[in-house]
Amino acid sequence: MGIKIVEIKARCSEPEKVENILIRLKADHKGTDEQTDTYFKCDTGRLKLREGNIENSLIFYKRPDQSGPKLSDVELVKLSPETGLKKILTASLGVHKTVVKKRKIFFIDNVKFHIDEVKGLGSFVEIEAIDENNSFTEAELLDQCRYYMKEFNIKDADLVTNSYSDMV
């Protein structure tokens, strides 16, 4: 399934403050996921297998390494836990990096929020304005992302350019 996402990732010194804002905005809290993302070696983009108690998927994405809101082209396949896929991908491609995190997941309409505690890296917030069926323009997704950046008081200095896999 091809998905268009405009997203940001930012360091977050007060994750409880962001969570309180999401609660005030009546965000739908999907739960807290203990996730392991295994990134595999590939020539273009990033390929990762996400294993969690809420989300399990194989994700391939291309996105520029820039600090502000950025457009990602994503291919995602939802999986059942313990598919055996990790063994096959590890044997065929090799593991590039592994990222372990605790993630609180929230939604407001088509916008997904992550409050992450990443092992070895600290606390982060992610905002993803998601278009799964070509209902939004890139400009509309960008506006959604910027709106919530303002709500959370995210400063340019807080923005992160790279993937967690580049940071560990």
* Distances 135 to 36, 75, 127, 138, 141 between C-alpha atoms, Å: 31, 17, 18, 10, 10
Question: Reduced to 3 states, what is the DSSP secondary structure of residue 161?
Answer: coil
Instruction: Report CA dihedral (82, 85, 88, 91) to the nearest 10 degrees.
Output: -80
- The residue with tokens 């804002």 is 21
Residue from 39, 38, 20 nearest 29 by CA: 20
With contact defined as beta carbons under 8 Å apart, do 5 and 72 qualify? Answer: yes
Q: How confident is the model at residue 28, as a pLDDT?
A: 98
The C-alpha angle with vertex 3 and arms to 96 and 59, in degrees rounded to 5, equals 20
Tell me the pLDDT of the chain (168 aa) as tens digits: 578 999 999 999 999 999 999 999 999 999 999 999 999 999 999 999 999 999 999 999 998 888 789 999 899 999 988 889 999 999 999 999 999 999 999 999 999 999 999 999 999 999 999 999 999 999 999 999 999 999 999 999 999 998 999 999
